[in-house]
Amino acid sequence: MMSGFGGQCPPAIQTWYVYILKCRDGTHYVGKTKDIVKRLERHEKGQVSYTAPRRPVSLVVYIAFPDEWKAVGLEKYLKSGAGRAFAKKHFYQES
């Protein structure tokens, strides 16, 4: 029996990912997705407008969340000035 769920299995969790890519020109791309593998394939194939002319791209970090709203919050933060500074300090070194 699973405690906390009344003997039932917990509900399915929809995982969301926030990720940072480093582009060939040294810029960084922050995004979110439900399917990290397919989204990275789209970046590699040039199907994402920002990264297409900046390929190749490399994955710097990805973070998984159990709900979309937490992922949206982190994505928004990482695109802010404070979030860019945080990412620079904790996830990558600027050249």
- Tokens found for residue 45: 């194939």
Question: For the purposes of burial, counting CB atoms within 10 Å of the CB of 84, is it exposed (0-12), middle (13-18) or buried (19 or more)?
Answer: middle
Span 44-55, pLDDT tens digits: 999 999 999 999
Confidence label for 1 from pLDDT (cuts 50, 70 and 90): very low
Residue 71 included in any domain: yes
For residue 9, pLDDT beyond 90: no
Residue 39 included in any domain: yes
Span 60-95, pLDDT tens digits: 999 999 999 999 999 999 999 999 999 999 998 655
Question: Rounded to two decimals, what is the model's pTM?
Answer: 0.84
Residue 27 included in any domain: yes
Residue 41 included in any domain: yes
Q: What percent of the chain has pLDDT over 90?
A: 81
Q: What's the domain range around 54?
A: 16-89
CATH number of the structural domain spanning residue 22: 3.40.1440.10
Query: Residues 77, 66: contact at Cβ < 8 Å?
Result: no
Count of Cβ atoms closer than 10 Å to residue 90 Cβ? 8
- Phi/psi at 69 (nearest 5 deg)? -65, -35
As for how many domains the chain has, the answer is 1
- Phi/psi at 89 (nearest 5 deg)? -70, -40
pLDDT at 14: 87
pLDDT at 51: 98
Query: Residues 18, 30: contact at Cβ < 8 Å?
Result: yes
